[in-house]
Amino acid sequence: MRISLDRTITGDFASSLRREWLETNGLGGWASSTISGAHSRRYHGLLIAAAKPPVGRMVLLSFVLSAAIGAAAGVIITPVSMMEYDRGALLGLKGFGAAVLGGLGQFFGALVAGVILGLAESFCAGYLSSGYKDAVALVLLLLVLFLKPEGLFGSGEAARLKRY
């Protein structure tokens, strides 16, 4: 099936973009939950390609936003945890542990896993010893990797595909 984006098929290009945005974003999941919405999604890439977005600037913007969020996180955590030059590995282990615990690529899973990891560390510091608090992230990471490698919210099919 050949799809053409000239004026005879789409009419006014601006109105086509508005309609496509409304269908995919504005109707509360209509495009992902209905058959007609799924058919309309195949035109999404063609409409975006016809608009010729500045891909280089979008990649640059994503890196700038990533750096800004990392800098803001550093500014927030430095006074709380009395940062030193060698504390990054421990924070990286906890962040990676939360990402793996929630399922790689699952944003909501990483958030929930971060809360679970924080609560587990707090309970360990309160009930056992504060010296074991940092080991909880490593123990939970190892348990999840042994028992459920795809994470708590990850799918088994995606984990099998990532294996290769």
Round to whole Å and give the CA distance between 60 and 32. 29
Other Cβ atoms less than 10 A from the Cβ of 111: the count is 13
Q: Is the pLDDT of residue 144 over 90?
A: no
Convert the pLDDT of each residue in 76-99 to its tens digit.
888 887 777 777 788 888 888 888
Spans of all domains in the chain: 7-51, 54-83, 86-162
Round to whole Å and give the CA distance between 73 and 84. 15
Q: Which of 99, 104, 81, 101 is nearest to 145 (CA)?
A: 101
25, 18 contact by CB (below 8 A): no
Q: Which residue has the higher pLDDT, 56 or 32?
A: 56
Residue 139: which H helix or E strand, with range?
Answer: helix 135-147
pLDDT at res. 63: 92
Question: Angle at the Cα of 34 (from 33 to 38), degrees rounded to 5?
Answer: 90
Convert the pLDDT of each residue in 95-114 to its tens digit.
888 888 888 878 888 899 99
pLDDT at res. 23: 60
What pTM was estimated for this model as a whole? 0.54
Round to whole Å and give the CA distance between 33 and 139. 39
Q: In 14-45, which positions are buried (b, 16+ CB within 10 angstroms) versus exposed (e)?
A: eebeebbeebbeeeeebbeeeeeeeebeebee
Q: Kindly compute the dihedral angle of the four CA atoms of residues 34, 39, 42, 47, in this order, to the nearest 10 degrees.
A: -100
pLDDT at res. 3: 45
pLDDT at res. 65: 93
